[in-house]
Amino acid sequence: MAAPGNFDSEIERIGNVLAAMRDALGPTGELLAETAQNLALPDEEKLAAEAERLTAELPERQTIEAAMARLVADLAAEIGICAQEFDDREVPTRFETLIGYVSGAAKHRRQRARWRSPAPLNRLAELLRRADLLAGLVRQERDFLIGQRRESEGDLVTFIDHRPEITEKLRGEDGVAKTGTDLVGRTAPAIQVFQDFVAGLNARMGTCNILLHKLIGDTENLLILYRVVADAGGHGDAGLKPELFPHLVPEVERFANGMLTLHGLDRRRHRADQTFAERFPAEATGEVAKSGGGQGGFRLPTIAGFKLVRSR
């Protein structure tokens, strides 16, 4: 598993880039709001500058979205590795095999000590911490985009609905061509820029939803694995509390209250994985490679006394 410092520094870097990109959206949103409020076309130079900025920003946006997708995929791969290691827990390590040549009892004691070690649970808790930070990062971005989209869509509708009034103002301006074609030519660039702006907000929201659906599906799987490993090692819930994961409160509360369910989880995860792979094929391929090529999820083991609530 990657060092916590590397993950945290990447989360911080991505967060800083997203914050800067949110700030950069301000001028376009404000220009659209002024246009809708004043029912007057914006300054042509300002409009051209915003159009150029929106075009120039696209590659940077794609790069940072891919970086977020890599963190989500890496987390999923780590969960898969942990699940496979738990499935293979009864396979003796090399050292245990060597001990077995000398003493079978010593080998079994060593195995039992490994099964009861807190290390696997600590590793899963670290993955939950990372999932919480990722969920916070993506949800903050999505919440901002929802608010900006709501305002800008309303302003765009106002602008388009009042286009006849705007063109009438243009007819009255000195030196402006009076033909309908010329008037449309004056308003069309502004409409195109603002439509592109709102479409970009929608696209970014869609990407956040794709990342969140996969992340939450993988996190639910992680919580189930956490419970299985905790019960197998005799650790109970090991003090896992919702307040420790402020961005995963609903999921952790279900875990803490024994309401975790497997019902529909495979279907939800399959849909989320499929959509993620369509949007981020390189990152999805990397996830499979890092997890050893195995399938997502894990098979429930047979553990005495283990119960998992299933939805009815």
Average pLDDT over residues 199-211: 97
| pLDDT tens-digit series, residues 267-289 | 888 999 999 999 999 999 999 88
Q: In terms of Cα–Cα distance, which of 106, 82, 80 is closest to 92?
A: 106
Q: Can you tell me the mean pLDDT for 100-108?
A: 71
CA 277 – CA 67 distance, rounded (Å): 14
Question: Taking residues 215-229, what's their average pLDDT?
Answer: 91
Min mean pLDDT across 8-12, 110-114, 127-131, 235-239 is at 235-239
pLDDT of residue 242: 81
Q: Is the pLDDT of residue 151 over 60?
A: yes
pLDDT at 277: 96
Helix 44-87 and helix 180-232, axial crossing angle in degrees, nearest 10: 20
44 vs 265, higher pLDDT: 44
CB-based contacts of 237, cutoff 8 Å, min separation 6: 227, 230, 255, 256
Which range among 25-39, 49-63, 181-195 shows the weakest confidence by mean pLDDT?
181-195
Q: What pLDDT, on a 0 to 100 scale, did the predictor assign at position 107?
A: 66
pLDDT at 65 over 60: yes
pLDDT at 308 over 50: no
CA distances from 111 to 106, 160, 187 (A): 9, 71, 75
- Distance, CA of 107 to CA of 91 (rounded, Å): 12
The 10s digit of each residue's pLDDT in 154-167 is 999 999 998 888 88
Write down the residue that tokens 């301000």 correspond to: 26
pLDDT of residue 297: 43
Q: What is the pLDDT of residue 180?
A: 62
Q: Which residues contact 91 (CB under 8 A, 6 or more apart)?
A: none
Predicted local confidence at residue 260, as pLDDT: 66
Among residues 72, 48, 2, which one has the least CA distance to residue 275?
Answer: 72
Average the pLDDT over 115-131 and give the result: 87
The proportion of the chain whose per-residue pLDDT surpasses 90, expressed as a percent, equals: 52
User: Above 60 in pLDDT, residue 175?
Assistant: no
Measured distance CA(188)–CA(196) in Å, rounded: 12
pLDDT band, residue 312 (cuts 50/70/90): very low
Instruction: State the average pLDDT over residues 187-192.
Output: 91
Q: Is 128 left (phi over 0), alpha (psi -120 to 50) or beta?
A: alpha
Residue 307 has pLDDT above 50, yes or no: no
